[in-house]
Amino acid sequence: MMSALFTKAMKKEYTLLIPNMVHPHFNLAKEVFVNHGYTVAILENRGPNVIREGLRYVHNDICYPAQLVIGQLIDAVKNGGYDRDKVALVISQTGGGCRASNYYFLLQKALKKCNMAHIPVISLNLKGMEKSPGFTITPFMLLQTYSAFVYGDTLMALANQTRPYEVHQGQADALVEKWTAYLGSRFAKNRGYIGWAMKRNLAAICAEFAAIEVKRTAKIKVGIVGEIYMKYAPLGNNDLQAFLEEQGCEVCVPSVMGFFYYGLDNAATDRTYYGGRWGISLVTRFTLRQLYKVERMAREAMLKSGSFTVPMPYTEMKGLNRDLIDYGVKMGEGWLLTAEMLDLIHMGYPNIVCTQPFGCLPNHICAKGMIRAVTERESEANIVAIDYDPSAPRVNQENRIKLMLAIANERLEGQNTDS
Same-domain check for residues 232 and 381: yes
Overall size of the chain counted in residues: 419
Q: Which helix (H) or strand (E) holds 127?
A: none
Q: Is residue 129 part of a domain?
A: yes
Determine the average pLDDT of the residues in 89-103: 77
Q: What is the count of structural domains for the chain? A: 2
Same-domain check for residues 384 and 250: yes
Contact 372, 403 (CB under 8 A): no
pLDDT in tens, 12-55: 999 999 999 999 999 999 999 998 899 999 999 998 999 999 99
Short-list 277, 235, 233, 278, CA closest to 253: 233
Q: What is the per-residue pLDDT for 104?
A: 86
Question: Structural domain of residue 31, as residue ranges?
Answer: 8-137
- Within 13 Å, how many C-alpha atoms sit on residue 188's CB side? 9
Distance CA 355, CA 237 (A): 7
pLDDT in tens, 373-417: 999 999 999 999 999 998 889 999 999 999 999 999 999 888 766
- pLDDT at residue 268 is higher than 90: no
State the DSSP code for 221.
E
Same-domain check for residues 239 and 343: yes
Distance CA 87, CA 361 (A): 34
Q: How far is CA 33 from CA 11, 59, 144, in A?
A: 11, 32, 10
Same-domain check for residues 122 and 242: no
C-alpha 47: how far from its chain's center? 21
Who has greater pLDDT, 96 or 6?
6
Cis peptide before 24 (omega within 30 of 0): yes
Determine the average pLDDT of the residues in 317-322: 93
Same-domain check for residues 120 and 224: no
Q: What is the CATH number of the domain that holds 108?
A: 3.40.50
pLDDT in tens, 74-93: 999 999 999 999 999 999 88
274-278, 368-372, 400-404: range with highest mean pLDDT? 400-404
